[in-house]
Each structure stands twice: as C-alpha cells, then as structure tokens.
Homo-oligomer: A and B are copies of this chain.
Amino acid sequence: MVAGLSTELNILEAARKVFMQKGFAAARMCDIAKTANINPALLHYYFRKKEKLFDVIFEQELDGFHSDIMSILHSGRTFFENIRLIIDKDIQKVASAPFLPMFILNEMHSNPERMQRSLGIIQRHSALFNVFREVVEREHLAGRIRAVCPQQLFLSIWGLTMFPFLAQPMVKMALEIDDQSFDALIRERSEYVSDMLIKSLQV
C-alpha cells in the first residue's frame, strides 16, 4: 500500500532510537510503537518478531561503522595526515550518534551468536585491519615511523576515540562536568589524540 514504505521506515527509525538507548533486552515493543506513533500490532506485521527487527537495525549500524576509513587509508596522503583524518572522522561520526558504540559493543557482548549470522560484516572488518597493518609496516620499513605493533596501535586509535562516548555518564561524573563541558572536551579531543599518537610514533 501507499503508506507501506513510510510506515516501515518510520518503524525502523523508532526502533533504532529505542534499541540504541535500552539495548535488546530492555527495549519494549510498545515503546517502539509509541515512538513511531503507530499501533503495536503493526510492528509484527512488518517484522515478524522483535529479534528480526533488532537484527535489521544492528546490521545497519554495525556495517556503516568504519566504512570511510578504508578510503582514507587508500588516499595519497602521508601516514600522519591519514591518522589525523581517521581520528577526526571517527570522533565526528560517533559524536553524531553517541549511543552507537555502547549499543554495538553491548549487544556483541551479551549475544555473541548474533554475530555469526552475518559473515559479511566480519570479513569487512578484518579486511580493514589488514589494510591498516600493511600501511603501518610499509611506513616503518620506509623509516617514517618507529617500530610498532599494528594491533596495539589499532586498539589505541579505537580506544582513544570511542571510550569517551562509551563511558559518557561515568566521565561526566568523575570529571564533574556538564553536557556543555563534555561537548567541548570532545571537540578538542580530535587534535589531542592525533598529536599524542603522532608524537609517540615519530622516530
């Protein structure tokens, strides 16, 4: 029907919000219906089960996660320039969806089986790391950076950029800051993290 597509998108939008904030177990179908301003029964008409609906959201979110990093790595710029771009992109993306990291990691943690359902995502993620590793090794052989374990560096980039969002409530509490100060901290973080990483990599 005419309204079909728009209703479906409407549901997906609402489900995204609710699942991201509450996670699978705590999310209520009623909440999703209320957020979408539709009848609860409609959720089952479009997506047969809660889990089906969740899977759609989860896959979408996970897939777009590091999609543009690959292209940055393949650009002609220097390694240090690329580091800055990647950090910037990561922080910028997550800042616009601050619940995303927590959502992804939490669900992967609480339901590891879900992951194995979508092999394609796994492949894309490890492909990303392999490119990253090659670049790091090339840079070191060329004498432009010091010897470094690519895995550790990869983990560090993720940790430095995503942790503030993962721990947002705790961070605000421990640092005694409000929303504005937190935003300011995030705005300054990109440069701070890039400087720190680059300085630690210089020969």
Residues on A close to B: CB < 8 A?
A: 21-26, 99, 102, 104-106, 108-110, 112, 115, 122, 125-126, 128-129, 149, 151-152, 154-156, 158-164, 166-171, 173-177, 185, 188-189, 192-193, 195-197, 199-200
Q: Is the interface of A mostly helix, strand, loop or mixed?
A: helix
Q: How many protomers of this protein does the assembly include? A: 2
State in angstroms the CA–CA spacing of A195 and B201 once bound together.
11
Which chain B residues lie closer than 8 Å to A122 at the CB level? 173
A175 and B156 contact, CB distance less than 8 A: no
B125 and A173 contact, CB distance less than 8 A: yes
What 10 A-B pairs come out closest when comparing CB atoms? A159-B163, A25-B26, A25-B25, A159-B159, A108-B169, A196-B200, A125-B174, A152-B192, A199-B200, A126-B176
Give the Cβ gap from A103 to chain B, nearest Cβ, in Å.
Answer: 9
